[in-house]
Amino acid sequence: MELILEQMPVVLHSLNIGFLQTLKLFFVTLIGAIPLGLIIAFGSMSRFSPLRWLTRLIVWVVRGTPLMIQLLIIYYFPGLVLKNNWWGSGEAGRFIASSVAFIFNYACYFSEIYRGGIQGVPKGQQEAGMVLGMTKSQIFFKVTLLQMIKRIVPPMSNEIITLVKDTSLARIIALQEIIWAGQAFLKGSQGISGAIWPLFFTAVYYLIFNGILTVLLGRLEQKLDYFR
Amino acid sequence: MAILEVHNIEKHFGATRVLEDISFSLEQGQALAIIGSSGSGKTTLLRCLNFLETPDQGSIVVQSNTLFDAADPATQRESEIRKKRLHFGMVFQSFNLFPQYTALQNVTLASQLLAKEQPDFKANKARILADIEAHGKELLAQMGLADRAGHYPHQLSGGQQQRVAIARALALKPDILCFDEPTSALDPELTGEVLKVIRSLADQKTTMIIVTHEMAFARDVADQIIFMDGGVIVEQGDPHQVIEHPREERTKQFLARYAEN
């Protein structure tokens, strides 16, 4: 116990830096995947059937294979197969490769949630807008959108909380996120080695951050509770 | 001079013919009731008038303007359909109020959006919006809902919701107001308040087309009645004549079934 207290400042400093990278990956994924998911959702509902089937095929592959494999393929494929490692060998390259993999993977999950949300708004809402002389975009933004958002908040909350924990998968390509930072003390870093507790302690970070997210998303859900 | 003329409308869904050679006309200030069993094409006919369905044959003329002619593609441009819809108001069986807006906002939303398209909107914004709101409140008061303006749809009873929907349709001052079975989704004790509102609109000489299963109401309120069966108009004429002394065998059978229930 005394040893842990002694190691604490060094470890926390390291874990903080790692968690910053975790947060960066988390927010970049959200910012990229939320709009990209909407585009994929429209693709999967397109009246042009080749586009619809292509989009659904992609969603099937992305959702049907492990994110870890997608990370490995996206990171190593250019260098090992195309003999042109456009990601570079540094941390920046690993971060971009991880971001690409996470954004694409999460956009596919989000697209299915959006699709359910859009299709869940009764057709009568659209028709009511039409007979009142509204344009298609007025109907989408003034009538459908908020009803859709209300429907997707609970399933999106679930995915967002999963995303916080999934960022740890980027460890597989040595992205220096919090798991990587905790593991470093096992092998030896900054004069500490053979310590397992920093790795276990990373859980506290995830737990606290997810606690904050749960409260915020719960508030959003409550805000939208004024209509049914 | 008829305000509405419908000529030879025909509509198919795939291989099924749902409307066949539908023709009728309606005078300004008159109410037309359309009766018939489920699946007889009444709702599809109303949806054609509101451009929610496109007829395969026939034409629709409002105030001598040909709004739609199946033979003339120039009358079917997507960009103009939106404006053409405004000749008709529509009250749906399931109300279709916008749940995220209050009763008053439901009534005023479309007027506000249309006003924003006018070139002089920016200059007179405050006055135009105030006028729209005052008109909306007036309509709600006319529906007996003055004290419900700030309520959301889920806080209102079915009958109140349908009255908001009627106010919403009236807000755009349509030439012809269409009702698609306005009381069919309501509990029996709530139909009365909605029928009363429609009756008072008839007294004010609102031009209306009412698809309904309320036979006595249709007889008392309408100036003209149409009985449809299997996508065709079987009989049309004076309401008392059609309901009390039908000429056609199919009308007699339909009304007899109603009398039994």
Give contacts of B110 with chain A, Cβ < 8 Å. Answer: 129, 132-134
Whether residues A131 and B114 touch (CB distance < 8 A) is answered with: no
Kindly list the structural domains of chain A, giving each domain's residue range(s) and its CATH number in brackets, ordered by start.
Answer: 2-226 (1.10.3720.10)
Query: Which of A124, A143, A150 faces B92 most closely, judged by CB atoms?
Result: A124
Alpha carbons A41 and A110: distance in angstroms, whole number: 8
Helix segments in chain A, DSSP class H: 2-44, 49-64, 67-80, 91-120, 123-131, 136-138, 145-166, 178-187, 197-223
Residue A44 backbone dihedrals phi, psi, to 5 degrees: -75, -10
Whether residues A133 and B89 touch (CB distance < 8 A) is answered with: no
pLDDT of residue A85: 82
- Reference B93, options B243, B213, B247; nearest CA is B213
CATH 3.40.50.300 fits domain B2-99+174-260: yes
8 Å CB contact between B163 and B154: no
Whole-model pTM? 0.86
Alpha carbons B90 and A127: distance in angstroms, whole number: 10
Structure tokens at A67: 């994110």
Mean pLDDT of chain A: 92
- Map out the domains of chain B as residue ranges: 2-99+174-260
Half-sphere exposure of B63 (CA within 13 A, CB side): 9
- Please tell me which residue of chain A has the smallest CA distance to B81: A133
Whether residues B96 and A125 touch (CB distance < 8 A) is answered with: yes
Alpha carbons B128 and B65: distance in angstroms, whole number: 29
Alpha carbons A162 and A145: distance in angstroms, whole number: 25
Whether residues A133 and B88 touch (CB distance < 8 A) is answered with: no
Give contacts of A122 with chain B, Cβ < 8 Å. Answer: 94, 96
Which of A123, A125, A126, A132 best probes binding to B when mutated, by most B CB atoms within 10 angstroms? A132
8 Å CB contact between B121 and B131: no
Query: Which of A124, A135, A228 faces B96 most closely, judged by CB atoms?
Result: A124
pLDDT of residue B261: 64
Residues with pLDDT less than 50, chain A: none
Give contacts of B86 with chain A, Cβ < 8 Å. Answer: 133
Q: Please report, in tens digits, the pLDDT of each residue of chain B (261 residues total).
A: 789 999 999 999 998 999 999 999 999 999 999 999 888 999 999 999 999 999 999 999 999 889 999 888 888 888 889 889 999 999 999 999 999 999 999 999 999 999 998 888 888 889 999 999 999 999 999 999 999 999 999 999 999 999 999 999 999 999 999 999 999 999 888 899 999 999 999 999 999 999 999 899 999 999 999 999 999 999 999 999 999 999 999 999 999 888 776
pLDDT of residue B169: 96
| Chain B residues with at least one Cβ partner in A under 8 Å | 50-52, 82-83, 85-86, 88-90, 92, 94, 96-100, 109-110, 113-114, 152-154, 168-169, 172
Min Cα separation A108/chain B (Å): 28
Min Cα separation B257/chain A (Å): 31
The interface pTM score, or ipTM, of the predicted complex is: 0.92
8 Å CB contact between A74 and A101: yes
In the block, tokens 């009627």 appear at B166
